[in-house]
Amino acid sequence: MKILAIETSCDETAAAVAHSTANRIIIDSNIVASQIDIHQVFGGVVPEIAAREHVKQILPVIEQALHSAGLKRLEASHNLDGLAVTVGPGLMTSLLVGVETAKTLALAWNLPLIPVNHIAGHTNANFIDRDLSSIKFPLLTLTASGGHTNLLLMHDPLHYKIIGQTMDDAAGEAFDKAANLLGLGYPGGPKISMMAKKFAEQHQETTIQLPRPMLKRTDYNFSFSGLKTALLYKVREDLTWQDHVAEYAYVFEKTVVEALVRKTIKAASDLKVKTVALAGGVSANECLRSNLKATLEQKLPQVDLLLPNMAYTTDNAAMIATAGLLKMQAGLTQDLEQIIAQPNYSLK
């Protein structure tokens, strides 16, 4: 099977072509048009601007994805077996651009269309170019990004159960707000990580302490809003904070990573999973990747760890194509009339 996938849930316009073999998903092309430079001046994504950029970029991005995969647009109906598109969760105006474009192409090319959950897509990034038969279930995925922080329990590649989630800010959102507070700019995750690495390389001890939210609770939920507020108060009280930005970044990153890792390890242990996976934009964070790997090896050495390729950590259409192919193989397509953009689309 070979499909075209479209992703426009936030501020990346993306399209990808992928095909499946017996036990593997292969990406033929993966094109992403980022809007980071446009939204940087605002310190975050402006939905109306994002939607307008999607309108401008969507057809050229699709054309490039087809071309890079060796396909011609006029022959797409003969070269593709279906289309996949992110229907949610995400920004309503952004989602509409992708969904309506995908529905139009599916109708014009007489191809089935597969609706994909954005969070499921991030999880499926771990399945790209891997022997699917070698992945052990049950599998626990920590999905951390600018809009989502969830723990998902999977008993197979198509069924998800949310067992934990953030009660307020997502981890990526917390990084963005902390970076803004420290004058580092947008996007916050890479800026915080870069400054934290600078402090770590100095091999100095830190005297800054921040609270570890929710770690004493027995559930698997997260909270980062109070952590952000604690950082705000620390900075307000410190008249010399501008001389210690790297140290504040280091402590903030370390605190967020500790919360993510400890909750994930607890859930993995309690639920006796065979595999732990990391997904979402925050999964590109080196501190998170190394800490999760080290802690898992120490406390649950029998559990496998899946880390996505860096190219598939941020929003992209390759992950949507992967989820779409798995659903299509299982016969999970829908009538075009039933497929609509849903900013709060739940996992199915």
Q: Where residue 6 sits, what CATH number does that domain have?
A: 3.30.420.40
Residue 345 belongs to a domain: no
Contact predicate 28/69, CB 8 Å: yes
Q: Is 186 in the same domain as 38?
A: no
Mean pLDDT of the chain: 94
pLDDT in tens, 2-55: 999 999 999 999 999 999 998 999 999 999 999 888 998 888 899 899 999 999
Q: Is 66 in the same domain as 80?
A: yes
Q: Identify the domain containing residue 225 by its residue range.
A: 136-308
Q: What is the pLDDT of residue 348?
A: 64
Q: Is 248 in the same domain as 317?
A: no
pLDDT in tens, 291-328: 999 999 999 999 999 999 999 999 999 999 999 999 99
Q: Which of 293-296's residues contact partners 24+ apart within 8 Å by CB, and which partners?
A: 295/261, 295/262, 295/265, 296/265, 296/268
Per cent of the chain over pLDDT 90 is 86
pLDDT in tens, 194-249: 999 999 999 999 999 999 888 889 999 999 999 999 999 999 999 999 999 999 99
Q: Is 195 in the same domain as 247?
A: yes
Label residue 344 by pLDDT band (50, 70, 90): confident
Which single residue is written with the structure tokens 């402090």?
199
213 CB-contact burial (10 Å; exposed 0-12 / middle 13-18 / buried 19+): buried
Structural domain tally of the chain?
2
Which single residue is written with the structure tokens 């054309």?
63
Q: What is the pLDDT of residue 213?
A: 82
The torsion angles phi and psi of 54, rounded to 5 degrees, stand at -60, -45
Token output for 267: 């859930």
Bridge partners (DSSP) of residue 70 are none
Q: Is 256 in the same domain as 317?
A: no
Q: What is the pLDDT of residue 335?
A: 86
Rg (CA), the chain: 20
pTM of the model: 0.94
